[in-house]
Amino acid sequence: MSGHSAEEVRAHVKIYMMVFGALAVLTVVTVAVSYLDIAVGPAMVLALLIATVKGSLVALFFMHLKGEVRAILWTLLLTAFFFLVLMSVPLSGYLDSTSL
């Protein structure tokens, strides 16, 4: 992204504003969903799904991951893998204890 010309950056400004709007709307949706009368499990999945969409928007457009070089994408893929391993450790223990 650092190599982009002024014209390309100018074109991106509109996208930044659209992403800002989407993030604000999704934040309202996150809070609205929490007031719905749904069980903890599905509520958790829904909230994390919305957060993942919001996080992806930030990473893709504000952090310019969209169109980023392979060195960074591979680094992040490896990071995501180890992050999931970290999350799976307590979850696997919980699933074992509940015999699911």
Partner 1 sequence: MSVAIPFNSEPRPDTGLYNAKLGVWLFLASEVMLFGALFSTYILLRTAAVEWPQGSEILDVPIAFFNTLVLIASSVTMVMSWASLKMGDVGKFRLYMALTILCALIFLAVKAYEYGAKFSHHHYPSDSTFLAIYFTLTGLHGLHIIGGVIVNGYLWGPGLKMWKSDPERFTNRIEVAGLYWHFVDLVWIFLFPVLYLL
Q: Where do contacts with partner 1 occur on this chain (CB under 8 A)?
A: 1-4, 6, 9-10, 12-13, 16-17, 19-20, 23-24, 27, 30-31, 34, 40, 43-44, 47-48, 50-51, 54-55, 58-59, 62-63, 69-72, 75-76, 78-80, 82-83, 86-87, 89-91, 93-94
CB 99, min distance to partner 1, A? 14
Angle, alpha carbons 40-92-30 (nearest 5°): 30
Q: Yes or no: say if 30 and 47 are a contact pair by the CB < 8 Å rule.
A: yes
Q: Yes or no: say if 57 and 20 are a contact pair by the CB < 8 Å rule.
A: no
Name the residue among 47, 61, 50, 71 with its Cα closest to residue 14.
61
Closer Cβ to partner 1, 31 or 99, answer by number: 31
CB 7, min distance to partner 1, A? 9
CB 16, min distance to partner 1, A? 5
Q: The tokens of 15 are what?
A: 């996208």
